[in-house]
Amino acid sequence: MEEMEEELKCPVCGSFYREPIILPCSHNLCQACARNILVQTPESESPQSRRASGSAVSDYDYLDLDKMSLYSEADSGYGSYGGFASAPTTPCQKSPNGVRVFPPAMPPPATHLSPALAPVPRNSCITCPQCHRSLILDDRGLRGFPKNRVLEGVIDRYQQSKAAALKCQLCEKAPKEATVMCEQCDVFYCDPCRLRCHPPRGPLAKHRLVPPAQGRVSRRLSPRKVSTCTDHELENHSMYCVQCKMPVCYQCLEEGKHSSHEVKALGAMWKLHKSQLSQALNGLSDRAKEAKEFLVQLRNMVQQIQENSVEFEACLVAQCDALIDALNRRKAQLLARVNKEHEHKLKVVRDQISHCTVKLRQTTGLMEYCLEVIKENDPSGFLQISDALIRRVHLTEDQWGKGTLTPRMTTDFDLSLDNSPLLQSIHQLDFVQMKASSPVPATPILQLEECCTHNNSATLSWKQPPLSTVPAEGYILELDDGSGGQFREVYVGKETMCTVDGLHFNSTYNARVKAFNKTGVSLYSKTLVLQTSEGCNFEPQSAPYSQLVDIKKLLAVAWFAFDPGSAHSDIIFSNDNLTVTCSSYDDRVVLGKTGFSKGVHYWELTVDRYDNHPDPAFGVARIDVMKDVMLGKDDKAWAITEGGITKGATIGVLLDLNRKTLTFFINDEQQGPIAFENVEGLFFPAVSLNRNVQVTLHTGLPVPDFYSSRASIA
């Protein structure tokens, strides 16, 4: 169970959770730690002011803390909400376990009340230290968050399993180890003290004596109560809201916000989610079992490599010693090669052992934590965390994909020494392949008729020579950087076709491919030269050559659509993937198919449907941006939301990678100054939206005229 310990520690204080509460993002915090990281927001952003203006729609209002200035090197202070700069924030710190947290704006006031009862400063805001999602607290303060009683029970059992022996409470001098605990007296006894102070007769005969460990657990669990509704503190949870995915009480159904939602019996959903979590654990358990067997295999390989190395060196030394003095000089060179191969094999296997061990420890810790959660009999507490656990289990299982549990190195030293040449040939003495039946594969051939480029992507195809009899286990495709630099691997696998995205526009790339099997690697194929698209030049045919025309020549225009392959599953595509909408109330992200790393690019999005309630966001993102949160909520995206956006509005996005800037337009009017500066890297057009929002993408557009003129003057 030691591997589960990291699941039981608070990300702020680094200690075991104490009175943990569940945030809306499904992460946990100690109640005291949650209070310590509260910050105070401006009055204009308080829940009361938002409700007064008619913009609040929930108990908790999510607030942008301008985290781009904390986590992104590309932020210039431009707010991503409403087109205005956010309130200044305090730089983040690191908790004992390495998670970045926001410190309080001021020291918490001295009070003798518990963290839950102590008053919370007006307009308080809390930011989750794990996912960095922020929200403004309502009048209930921290009392509005449900307590994670399941997690408390798991921590109690974990600490009890590691607790030291309990001592007798009635020994006068050196306390002896306790043997029993009386549940009615709430006292730990050793055997002599129990016989003297707690005889098994009279009224004491009815007292229940239990082992000390069980007594410790019962003492800790006694204050625990059944979970109550956070909105109606006198009501217990009795039903489960399917739409909100949370337990509710009868009063919530009669008069609360869940009155029109679909609900199901708490017990039935408890059993269903336990069954789903158990089924998910079965698959993960199989992966863990395979990983343990794989580690045994790798450790055996280390021993075999060691033995084979010793045997091979002895044979080599015996052959070399039989030769004349001239052979001794060559012997040292050959031994060095064997040792290098030996160290290489050991390094590869040991690195794989280390990587697999870390993944297995994380997997085992999650499994043990889930198994402890399943043991809980609190349906409400279990259902509060079951969805998040099920997703984590499936995600962890997917990480044990194909190839993870396959050795990257063989144990054999496929080398042999040819000592038959005469003395005068000693300087040509070298290793030859031991397994003549398994030569390296033939050099692959690039199929020029199937290789092509489109915009800033390239598709390459290759095949084995027709008369080749040696099978290839895979291929390695390499491209240079488009500027005559070194080659780098862009694909390794069994396929004979690959599409590479995110290349530079108007650039020349060199591509080559080679095949490999267990014996070795083939020679490279002939180098293929590829030219990416130049875009579209908007130089007037009759206009004389001018500085403005020269600038526009540098602006490559790309045509692209939204990418269904990288989008969240709740995104709905139409109009040849140019129009998107969403089926979820939560924010979902979709990227464009084309990525940009240099040049000037401009595209527009029209808002086809919008009822003023959702919060669509528009901008750019990296390929690994989070797909289930609003664009701009992590450090992988730069976006603008809301300000001036209505049904029929047109949002323009100008990405100038020559100047490393990002600018936004609404209905052809620039929104403030440059939004973001120092924007550098590979970026994809991005949109986040939720239900009742539909947008259409327009590409292949020239940049605004005034921006081209300004760029020419600059």
- Tokens 């997997």: give the residue: 363
CATH homologous superfamily of 1-40+120-164 equals Zinc/RING finger domain, C3HC4 (zinc finger) (3.30.40.10)
Q: Are strands 28-30 and 39-40 parallel, antiparallel or unpaired?
A: unpaired
In terms of Cβ atoms closer than 10 Å to its own Cβ (0-12, 13-18, 19+), residue 156 is middle
What are the pLDDT digits (tens) for 586-595? 889 999 988 8
pLDDT of residue 236: 80
- 555's CB contacts (< 8 A; 6+ apart) are 535, 538, 599, 600, 601, 702, 703, 708
Q: What distance, in Å, lies between the first and last C-alpha atoms of the chain?
A: 64
Q: Is the pLDDT of residue 509 over 50?
A: yes
pLDDT score for 709: 53
| 8 A C-beta contact, residue 378 and residue 227 | yes
* Rounded mean pLDDT, 356-382: 90
**pLDDT tens-digit map of 662-682:** 998 888 888 878 888 888 888
The pLDDT score that the predictor gives to residue 446 is 92
**Of the spans 68-72, 379-383, 483-487, which averages the highest pLDDT?**
379-383
pLDDT, position 315: 81
Domain residue limits, the chain = 1-40+120-164, 178-219, 226-261, 276-400, 448-532, 555-709
Per mean pLDDT, which of 108-112, 120-124, 323-327, 391-395 is the most reliable?
391-395
What is residue 692's three-state secondary structure?
coil
Average pLDDT estimate for 210-217: 75
- Which class does domain 226-261 fall in? alpha beta
How far, in Å, CA of 526 to CA of 520, rounded? 19
* pLDDT level of residue 710 (50, 70, 90 thresholds): low
Q: Span 112-116, mean pLDDT?
A: 47
Q: pLDDT for 57-113, tens place per residue? A: 344 555 444 333 333 333 333 333 333 233 333 444 545 444 445 444 444 444 444
Query: What homologous superfamily is domain 555-709 in, according to CATH?
Result: SPRY domain (2.60.120.920)
Whether the predicted pLDDT of 524 surpasses 60? yes
Q: What is the pLDDT of residue 544?
A: 35
Q: How confident is the model at residue 156 (pLDDT cuts 50, 70, 90)?
A: confident
Place 435 in a pLDDT band, splitting at 50, 70 and 90: very low
Q: Give the confidence band of 428 by pLDDT, cuts at 50, 70, 90.
A: low
Query: 676: which 2 tokens?
Result: 């973001």
Distance (Å, rounded) from C-alpha 597 to C-alpha 365? 40
The whole-angstrom separation of Cα 357 and Cα 350 is: 10
Residue 311, SS3 per DSSP: helix
Spatial distance between the Cα atoms of 564 and 573, rounded to a whole number of angstroms: 7
**Phi, psi for residue 458 in degrees, rounded to 5:** -135, 135
Kindly give, in sequence order, each residue whose CB lies less than 8 Å from that of residue 318, ignoring residues fewer than 6 positions away: none
Q: Which residue has the higher pLDDT, 579 or 268?
A: 579
Say whether pTM exceeds 0.75: no
**Helix residue ranges, H only, 582-652:** none
Phi-psi region of 330 (alpha: psi -120 to 50; beta: other; left: phi over 0): alpha
pLDDT at 429: 60
Residues 448, 463: Cα–Cα separation, whole Å: 11
- pLDDT range class, residue 426, cuts 50, 70, 90: low
Q: Could you tell me what percent of the chain has a pLDDT over 70?
A: 76
Indicate if the pLDDT at residue 557 is higher than 70. Answer: no
Mutual angle of helices 325-374 and 379-399, in 10-degree steps: 160
Write down the pLDDT at residue 431: 66
CA-CA distance, 35 to 108, in Å (whole number)?
Answer: 8
pLDDT value at position 52?
47
Burial, 538: exposed, middle or buried (Cβ in 10 Å; 0-12, 13-18, 19+)?
middle
Share of the chain above pLDDT 90, in %: 16
Residue 502 in contact with residue 681, Cβ under 8 Å? Answer: no
Is the distance from CB of 153 to CB of 376 less than 8 angstroms? Answer: yes
- The mean per-residue pLDDT over the stretch 549-572 comes to 70
268-288 pLDDT per residue, tens: 888 888 888 888 888 888 888
User: Of 500, 269, 275, which Cα lies nearest the Cα of 384?
Assistant: 269
**Domain at 448-532, CATH from 1.10.260.30, 3.40.50.300, 1.10.10.10, 2.60.40.10:** 2.60.40.10
Q: What angle do CA 71, 73, 76 make, to 5 degrees?
A: 100
- Tell me the two tokens of residue 666: 């609404």
Beta-bridge mates of residue 529: 510
pLDDT tens figures, 635-652: 889 988 766 678 888 999
Sign of the Cα torsion 254, 257, 259, 261 reads negative
Domains 448-532 and 555-709 share a fold: no
Predicted local confidence at residue 108, as pLDDT? 47
What pLDDT is stored for residue 476 in this prediction?
Answer: 94
The per-residue pLDDT for range 315-342, each reduced to its tens digit, is 878 877 776 666 677 778 888 888 988 9
Residue 182 identity (one-letter amino acid): C
pLDDT digits (tens, 9 = 90+) for 185-205: 888 899 999 888 888 888 888
- Return the pLDDT at 444: 94
Tokens 């680094």 belong to which residue? 14
Confidence band, pLDDT 50/70/90 cuts, at residue 218: low
Spell 467-497 as b/e; 16+ CB within 10 A means b.
Answer: ebebebeebbbbbbebeeeeeeeebeeeebe
| HSE toward the beta carbon, residue 181, CA cutoff 13 A | 18
φ and ψ of 30, to 5 deg? -60, 145
Burial, 43: exposed, middle or buried (Cβ in 10 Å; 0-12, 13-18, 19+)? Answer: exposed
- Give the H or E element holding residue 461: strand 457-463
Helix, strand and coil content of the chain, in percent to the nearest 5, comes to 30, 20, 45
CB neighbours of residue 464 within 10 Å: 19
Mean pLDDT of the chain: 77
Nearest to 661 by CA among 74, 211, 237: 74
- The residues, ordered by sequence, that sit 6+ positions from 282 with a Cβ below 8 Å of its Cβ are none
More confident position, 604 or 437: 604
